[in-house]
Amino acid sequence: MKGLFCAHCKAKNNEEYREVLKKRLIRVRLIGLAGVLIILSAAVLFHTVLAEMDDYHQGVTYGMGTGLILGSIVAMLRIYRTLASEEKLKEQRLKETDEREVEISNMALRQTAKLLLAVLYLSMVFGALVSEELLNLCCLLIGIFLLSYIGFRKYYENKV
């Protein structure tokens, strides 16, 4: 998943990158906190208003919260480890700022987007034979995908 969730920063040296990581640490903590809140609110809701909810849906909700907490813990540990060593800081900074790395990530994302769209179209065509809900869901997702592409294109046309 290298580069996928990286906010390609423009830090020119280790000191600037250290500041970027400190800000990122705050976001990661907030994500962990969101996980805790999901678990706590789910626990309250599943014991009161949503008491009849089946085990599968309860498991998915708790799993989402746990995933966010574990993900944020792993991300925090990685950031602390990077901050502790100048060598790691440089290595990580280059991974995020190196223009070839950024280009590789962008190319991979473009291909992934095309594949995702193709899979959605195929699911829509064959899904229509099986279930109307699947057809509607695929239509909705393709619509969101294309509309967000048009939206972001317009946004960047004015920015670049």
Partner 1 sequence: MHTKIQELRKERRITQNELADAVNVSRQTIISLENGRYNASLVLAHKIAQFFGVTIEDVFIFDEEENL
Q: Cβ contacts of residue 111 below 8 Å, gap of 6+?
A: none
Report helix, strand or coil for 46. helix
Least distance (Å) between residue 113 CB and partner 1:
22
Least distance (Å) between residue 160 CB and partner 1:
14
CB nearer to partner 1: give 75 or 96: 96
String marking each residue 98-137 x if it binds partner 1 according to CB under 8 A:
xxxx-x----------------------------------
The alpha carbon torsion through 4, 7, 12, 18 (nearest 10 deg) reads -110
Other Cβ atoms closer than 10 A to 44: 11
Q: Hey, what amino acid is at 21?
A: L
CA 26 from centroid of its chain's CA atoms: 16
CB nearer to partner 1: give 16 or 30: 16
User: Per CB under 8 A, which of residues 74..103 are in contact with partner 1?
Assistant: 94-95, 97-101, 103
Q: Which residues bind partner 1 (CB under 8 A)?
A: 12, 94-95, 97-101, 103
